[in-house]
Every structure is written in C-alpha cells, then in structure tokens.
Amino acid sequence: MNDIIKEIQELKKQKKATILAHYYQEGEIQEIADFNGDSLALARAATKVETPIIVFCGVHFMAETAKILNPSKKVLLPDLQAGCSLADSCPADKLARYQEMLRINDRKFQTVTYINSTAAVKSLSDWVVTSGNAENIVKKVPAEMEILFVPDRHLGQYLEEVTGRKMILWDGACMVHEIFSLGDLLAMKKKLPSSMVLAHPECPANIRAYSEFVGGTEAMLNKIATFKTPTDFIVATEPNMMWQMENRFPQHRYHPVPGITCACNKCPHMGRNTLENLRDCLINETPEIVWDPCFDRAKEVLTRSLLN
C-alpha cells in the first residue's frame, strides 16, 4: 500500500476521525473516505458521525454545512481556500439588499437557496435545496408567494421547467458546468449514437436540451443502476464523478464532455484537496471551520429543509 495512504489510515484511527468526501474529489481521496456522496447525502451523513473529528474533503460551504449540522464536532477542511464560484456569485450583503428592495416594492416572496452558498446566505433564506430535493421543496412554497431562487440561474431555469413555477433568478453559475462544449457533445453523440447523455441541472439549457437524462450526481448513479447491458454514457458533470461511476458500474463505458476552454474541465476548488494536505490536516487538526453567529439561523433553515 502507498505510504501516504497508510499514514492517513493510521492517523484516522489514532485521531478518531471520519473522512467525508464529495463525488467531485479525486478517486484516491474518495477511495480512502469513510463516506462518499453528493451534497445532500454528505449533509445527512455529517449529522450521524460519532467520532470527535470530521475531515471534510469537498469545498468550504460543504464543510461549513457539516459544522452547522453537527456543532459539537471538530470539522476540518484540508484547504480553507477550497471555495466555489457559484457560492461566490451571491455575496450575503448583496442578497440582503436585493431582498430589501423586493420588500419595499411590496413583493411577497420566499428565498429558496441552493446549498452551494455561504452560511450567511443560507441564514437569509427560507429554504435550502440540493439538486436531489429541489423539486420537492419548490412544491412546498405556497402558490401565492413568488420564489427568489439563488444563486444558480441554470438550476433555477431547470426547476422552472420541471415545476412550472416562475421564479426570480439570481445571476450566478458554476464555472465547471457552465462551460461544457455543445459542439464536442454533439460530435461525441454522432460517434456514439446509442449512447446516453447524462447532464447535471447546473448545466445551461443548451446542454440539457441534448441530454437524455438531467439530474444530480446521486440521481445519475441511480439511473445508471437501471442499465444491465454495457452502455456508453456521455457525462456532463465534474469528471471525477466518473471514478464513482466506474467503481460501482464497471460494465459500462463513460465519456466526459470537455469544456470550451479546458479539456479536462475539473473543478479547481475541489482539486485543492490532496492526499498530502489531507494527511497534514489530520496531523495538525487544522484548518478548522469555526462557529460563526450566522450559523444559528442557517441551522434552522438547513434542518427544516434537509433533515425533516
């Protein structure tokens, strides 16, 4: 066994730590984790961790969510700079000003926020959704209320299509999902006419329009599970997701859709976590997510939205 993997496994036992990893982490990190999942599954898993330390291999808002939902634990993130372009596109002060403007104009609305957002933004929200539960939550918003959906305009547009609810959409997007090349996707489909295109709802409408299936990462895995005979899947989401697909369903072939500007189209924020800084954060028990006063209100919203 590789030395660093052995070292991490020993440190994990010695420090009584649980490693949670998002599907967009490199395969070597997913392999060593105690639990892999999408944002919803990881948030729920964080509430059940019994060890005193959680090491969260994902990005900042995910580790923050784990801390909010399990406050007595020490939550570590291997690199505190692991951010998210989508979360950055909706600063809390800008959202608060926009909500105030809507109220002054006598608009009755509820704010539905994608989990890819800071705790400060969650604390200004009525609901927090993931791509896995968004449809169900949107249906809970009373019909007489408008919906302000933040921060992902593409997921918002998709939800408008599937629920029939018109929304006020914040102008944010994910830097990975926004730049898939439609030209490359169509060329791949031409080469593999019997393939199935799977796209994440964070993708723009032009990519979704050429996809046979649109869903979050967990939904993609559930879809693949229904295919018994070897199939070609063209995948429009962060390409590390294919490690999980290959691991669970090795009988199929998976083809990543390249980005317009970058052939691999990996998330640079997720890529900040490495085996080396995972080991170091176990040794030093830092960087740590520390409690912030806005976590109290964010906890209420998260618990109501994701756990009840």
For ligand SF4, the binding residues (CB under 6 A) are 24, 59, 84-86, 116, 174-176, 238, 267, 269-270
112 contact partners, CB below 8 Å, separation of at least 6:
125, 126, 127, 129, 134, 137, 138, 141, 147, 148, 149, 150, 167
Q: Which two tokens stand for residue 143?
A: 């019909």
Beta carbons within 10 angstroms of residue 157's beta carbon: 16
Choice between 126 and 178, CB closer to ligand SF4: 178
Choice between 85 and 244, CB closer to ligand SF4: 85
Min dist CB 238 to ligand SF4, Å, is: 5
Burial 207-246 (b: 16+ CB within 10 A, else e): bbebbeebbbbbbbbebbeeeeeebbbbbbbbbbbbbbbe
Min dist CB 270 to ligand SF4, Å, is: 6
- In the block, tokens 């898993």 appear at 45
189 contact partners, CB below 8 Å, separation of at least 6:
195, 197, 210, 234
Min dist CB 84 to ligand SF4, Å, is: 3
Choice between 176 and 278, CB closer to ligand SF4: 176
Min dist CB 60 to ligand SF4, Å, is: 9
Residues in a beta bridge with 56: 20
Beta carbons within 10 angstroms of residue 183's beta carbon: 9
CA distance 206 to 161: 14
Min dist CB 227 to ligand SF4, Å, is: 25
- Backbone phi, then psi, for 37, in 5-degree steps? -175, 180
Choice between 53 and 241, CB closer to ligand SF4: 241
Min dist CB 194 to ligand SF4, Å, is: 29
Choice between 154 and 165, CB closer to ligand SF4: 154
Choice between 253 and 272, CB closer to ligand SF4: 272
- Backbone phi, then psi, for 182, in 5-degree steps? -65, -40
48 contact partners, CB below 8 Å, separation of at least 6:
none
Min dist CB 80 to ligand SF4, Å, is: 14
Choice between 269 and 279, CB closer to ligand SF4: 269
Contact 214, 236 (CB under 8 A): no
Choice between 12 and 132, CB closer to ligand SF4: 132
Q: Among candidates 232, 230, 236, which has minimal Cα distance to 256?
A: 236
- In the block, tokens 């019909």 appear at 143
Min dist CB 143 to ligand SF4, Å, is: 30
